[in-house]
Amino acid sequence: MAEVIEESDAGRQSSPRFFWISLILVPLIFLVALESVCLGILYFYNSFSGKNDNAFARNHLLTGLFASALAGPVAGKHFLGHLRDDDRWEEFLVPDALLGWRLGSNISVYYSPSPRAGEYLYLTDENGFSADVDDPPVALQKSADVYRVIVLGGSTVMGDGSPRPSQNLVGMLRAAVRDQRITAADGKRVELINAGVDGYNSAQEYLYFVSRLIRLEPDLVVVYDGWNDSYVWTDRSIIANRSPFRTKTHEEETRRIKASYSVSGSFLVAFDNLKSALTEGHFRLAMMELPWRLLAKAKSDEDADDRSGTYDSRIADYYRENHRAFAALADDRVAVAILLQPLVGTDDRALTDEEKASWWYPEFRWEMGNRAPFYRDARQVLAKVKERNRGNRQICIADLSQSLRTVRETVYADTGHLFPNGNKIMAARILDELASCGLLTKQAP
């Protein structure tokens, strides 16, 4: 009888324990199973869409537990892995209250704009400049025998289209200066700094120079742009504010700062950060990412026609004011070179068969609706700025948009970025122009 009572008491004691264990384990198993199903759907969707899944396991919380650690291509730099367009870029393009964003310091990252395109390696130094491992470090204090040249621009300067930084535009400039023994007019050694930042228009380039780069005591600043200025019309904040200095990124950062001053606003910012971490960051939950991506796709479909707006001549006015501001910087201590870059469709060059078969060819025609009239106006702007500054030996202005007109080989990686061979051609063209302006000297062969 006693044994029966003891067994009954043991059963009653184990029942609550089993209940609580089941209460924890059953939902946990269900959530893991749900997450696994959602992960499978996302993975197959990405594969079907042709998206790169190199970072898929590491970016998701469940699979990240079993993913191997990232091994970067360059020791001593923070490796961000293989980024896609829909990844979070905040560690590479660091938010900045004045500039909107800037390049992170000591970063290495791979990026491919399309599964059919090549993969590019981006490297930055401690200053956030695009630089290869063999490039000389940039010292804040300039040596007395150095003629320092800072090259400003967007992704075409930063290095899109180049497998590694030594093959981008500034890398090719550096190689040509070295191989051809090019010096400054006074014989000083030429030092080149790549200050290109993805997405920068000329307004951001100007702010970047006067706020962060002027302390480097440059002797010459080269402004190489045009493409991103023709894109200004797609940024509603710039059009609404009638200022190219206020992009949609600036507006978003201002909104978040204002929200942080109230309890309710801080809660919403925290919720937005949590949502981003779980749907776009490195700790994603597929069960949240999947429905969010479906909603985002529906919204993007609604906004798909936004890019088809008609040409707004105000963007040429912005271009004029920005480059007049650059020209006004020229004095006896710093020279300014303003160069209009080449793009697909800005000249009468016939594309090669390889370029026509590229992934970007079907997409570029919608750009021409704004690119062609903008370049027509931009050329007139530069001609007037050049005439206004005629006789000023510290200002060099040139339209380089026709530089590839007679080139018959494949040079375009997309509608504006150049392969290394294209960068080499443009580097030679830029050096010729700077030499003709008397800013650089080519040694006799």
pLDDT digits (tens, 9 = 90+) for 387-405: 999 999 999 999 999 999 9
Q: Please answer whether residues 322 and 73 qualify as being in contact, where contact means their C-beta atoms are separated by less than 8 angstroms.
A: no
Q: Are 90 and 186 contained in the same domain?
A: yes
Q: Average pLDDT in the 73-97 region? A: 83
Q: What is the CATH number of the domain that holds 224?
A: 3.40.50.1110
Q: Are 121 and 18 contained in the same domain?
A: no
Q: Average pLDDT in the 173-199 region? A: 96
Q: Please answer whether residues 194 and 165 qualify as being in contact, where contact means their C-beta atoms are separated by less than 8 angstroms.
A: yes
Could you tell me the CA-to-CA distances from 233 to 19, 287, 306 in Å, in that order?
Answer: 62, 36, 10
In a domain, 56, yes or no: no
Q: Taking Cα atoms as reference points, which of 45, 74, 69, 72 lies closest to residue 57?
A: 69
Q: Taking Cα atoms as reference points, which of 445, 444, 405, 437 lies closest to residue 422?
A: 405
In a domain, 239, yes or no: no
Structure confidence by residue, pLDDT tens digits, 27-74 = 888 888 888 888 888 888 777 766 656 677 777 878 777 777 677 888
- Residue 147 pLDDT exceeds 70: yes
- Residue 376 pLDDT exceeds 60: yes
In a domain, 68, yes or no: no
Could you tell me the CA-to-CA distances from 202 to 152, 232, 277, 386, 402 in Å, in that order?
Answer: 9, 10, 32, 17, 20
Give per-residue burial for 378-406: e unless 16+ CB within 10 Å, then b. Answer: bbebbeebbeebeeeebbbbbbbbebbee
Minimum mean pLDDT among 53-62, 152-161, 351-360, 364-373: which range? 53-62
Query: Residue 305's pLDDT is what?
Result: 45
Q: Are 227 and 340 contained in the same domain?
A: yes
C-alpha angle 402-407-408 in degrees, rounded to nearest 5: 140
Residue 278 DSSP symbol: H
Q: Are 171 and 24 contained in the same domain?
A: no
Q: Are 94 and 193 contained in the same domain?
A: yes
Query: Residue 232's pLDDT is what?
Result: 66
Q: Are 92 and 31 contained in the same domain?
A: no
In a domain, 262, yes or no: no
In a domain, 211, yes or no: yes
What average pLDDT does the structure give for the chain? 86
Q: Which helix (H) or strand (E) holds 152?
A: strand 146-153
Q: Taking Cα atoms as reference points, which of 317, 253, 239, 297 lies closest to residue 90?
A: 253
Q: Are 128 and 225 contained in the same domain?
A: yes
Q: Average pLDDT in the 128-133 region? A: 96
In a domain, 240, yes or no: no
pTM for the complete prediction?
Answer: 0.84
Q: Are 317 and 191 contained in the same domain?
A: yes
Would you tell me how many other CB atoms lie within 10 Å of the CB of residue 346?
A: 26
Between 439 and 17, whose confidence is greater? 439
Q: Are 107 and 228 contained in the same domain?
A: yes
Q: Are 45 and 189 contained in the same domain?
A: no
- Residue 24 pLDDT exceeds 90: no
In a domain, 149, yes or no: yes
Q: Are 24 and 108 contained in the same domain?
A: no
Query: Residue 51's pLDDT is what?
Result: 66
Would you tell me how many other CB atoms lie within 10 Å of the CB of residue 291?
A: 12
Q: What's the total number of domains in the chain?
A: 2
Q: Average pLDDT in the 109-116 region? A: 81
Estimate the crossing angle of helix 314-328 against helix 365-388, to 10 degrees: 40
Q: Please answer whether residues 245 and 229 qualify as being in contact, where contact means their C-beta atoms are separated by less than 8 angstroms.
A: no
Domain boundary among 28, 49, 70: 49
For residue 7, give its domain range: 2-49
In a domain, 267, yes or no: no
Structure confidence by residue, pLDDT tens digits, 152-185 = 999 999 999 999 999 999 999 999 999 999 999 9
Structure confidence by residue, pLDDT tens digits, 297-346 = 665 554 444 555 577 888 899 999 999 999 999 999 999 999 999 999 99
Q: Are 18 and 108 contained in the same domain?
A: no
